[in-house]
A = this chain, B = another copy of it.
Amino acid sequence: MVHKQHDTRSRNIDGLVLAVDAGATHTRTAVANIGGRVFGKSLVGPANSYAVGELRALENLEDGIWQALRRAGVRASQISVAVIGTAGVDYDGSGAARITHSLRCELPKTQILVKADALIALEGALSGDPGVVIVCGTGSIVLGKDSSGKLAKVGGWGPLMGDEASAQWVSREALRRAALAADGTGPATSLVRCLLNRYKLHCFDRIIDAVYKHPMTPAELGALAPMVSSAAEQGDEVARDIFRVGAEALASQAAQAAARLELEPVKVSYQGSMFHTGTLLLKPLRSRLHSLAPQARLIAPAFSPLAGAFLLALRAKGINHLESLDLFQRGCHA
């Protein structure tokens, strides 16, 4: 808003870009110029069609875009390129047409590029370089890219079929292992007490009502994960083991993506809320990755997925310099 008056003209000259990171829990949107200056941003609910259904996902996506445009004080016609990263789209691009079509009314004159959420995570984490990214938030997926731009996806099968180490997976494992402990068929764990507190129950048997009464969304289920990481940090062996098993699955997926693309040596990075747990995931991940793919180097992500979407927008405009990314990322977190 504060920028509204002094640079409306430069915006028109440059052609602004719009970047969206549509997740299963939050959707982040930013409007910026090609120099990386952020004019408006927004944070709304999930825009992942697997997590909340197609209609709700599109509503949140459009709402996020509309809020960011309004806060930037620009018209949709001033956006020359929009890059949307979302789980509704596969890494090979399938599913993109439907979302592009839906956004056409909102952004009639804009070049709209809808990409897999894992791709913007990869581009951000590795500043556009080849390598492998492990994305682990509400869900999980591994994506690799070689120097020719060829992609390889491993994992990313969703809550029913995979999603190892994701917030949903960790929460489900915690529920499952607490049930084993309550039955006496698995090792004792503080997770039983944690869940009793969480759901305000006196008897663990009653958790069935709490868990099944209303079907939980992926975000609601994943919201148990911080409880599990606290338990692990306080030394609970069952909770620690959940993170270890999840991390080892991610390491195996990352090694497989690197092998499939014949990347050697390879930079492996990571994105997503589950990595805020720090060493809980990263330590066993690094250790297993080292034994499976000794040529791999695990590095902290350079930029956010949203910055990855911005990078793809720049590239669509024929711009390959990365100087703008720093400013963009700082602007997004301001």
Contacts and interface: CB of A to CB of B under 8 A. Distances in A.
Interface of A: 50, 90, 92, 153-155, 157-158, 160-162, 172, 175-176, 178-180, 183-185, 205, 207-208, 211-212, 215, 221, 249, 252-253, 256, 260
Given A50-B212, A90-B205, A161 B175 contact: yes
Contacts of A158: 208, 211-212
Nearest to A95: B209
> Interface on chain A toward B: helix, strand, loop, or mixed SS?
helix
A201 to B, nearest CB: 13
B90 A183 contact: no
Contacts of A249: 185
Contact of A183 (B154, B175, B176, B183): B154
Contacts of A185: 154-155, 249, 252-253, 256
A50 B213 CA distance: 7
A175 B161 CA distance: 5
A129 to B, nearest CB: 23
Contacts of A160: 172, 175-176, 211-212, 221
21 contacts: A50-B208, A50-B212, A90-B205, A154-B183, A154-B184, A157-B179, A158-B208, A160-B175, A160-B176, A160-B211, A160-B212, A160-B221, A161-B172, A161-B175, A161-B178, A161-B179, A161-B208, A161-B211, A162-B176, A185-B253, A185-B256
B162 A256 contact: no
A161 B209 CA distance: 12
A92 B203 CA distance: 12
A184 B256 contact: yes
Contacts of A154: 183-185
Given A50-B212, A90-B205, A185-B252, 12 more contacts: A154-B185, A157-B179, A157-B208, A158-B208, A160-B172, A160-B211, A160-B221, A161-B207, A161-B211, A162-B176, A184-B256, A184-B260
Contact of A161 (B161, B176, B252): B176
Nearest to A180: B162
Nearest to A156: B208
Contacts of A256: 183-185
Nearest to A51: B212
A276 to B, nearest CB: 24
A152 to B, nearest CB: 10
A29 B260 CA distance: 56
Contacts of A260: 184
A157 B184 contact: no
A255 B215 CA distance: 32
A256 B183 CA distance: 8
A215 B218 CA distance: 13
Interface hub of A175, A183, A256 (most chain B Cβ within 10 A): A183
Contacts of A180: 162
Contacts of A184: 154, 256, 260
A11 to B, nearest CB: 39
A260 B184 CA distance: 10
A296 to B, nearest CB: 15
A212 B87 CA distance: 12
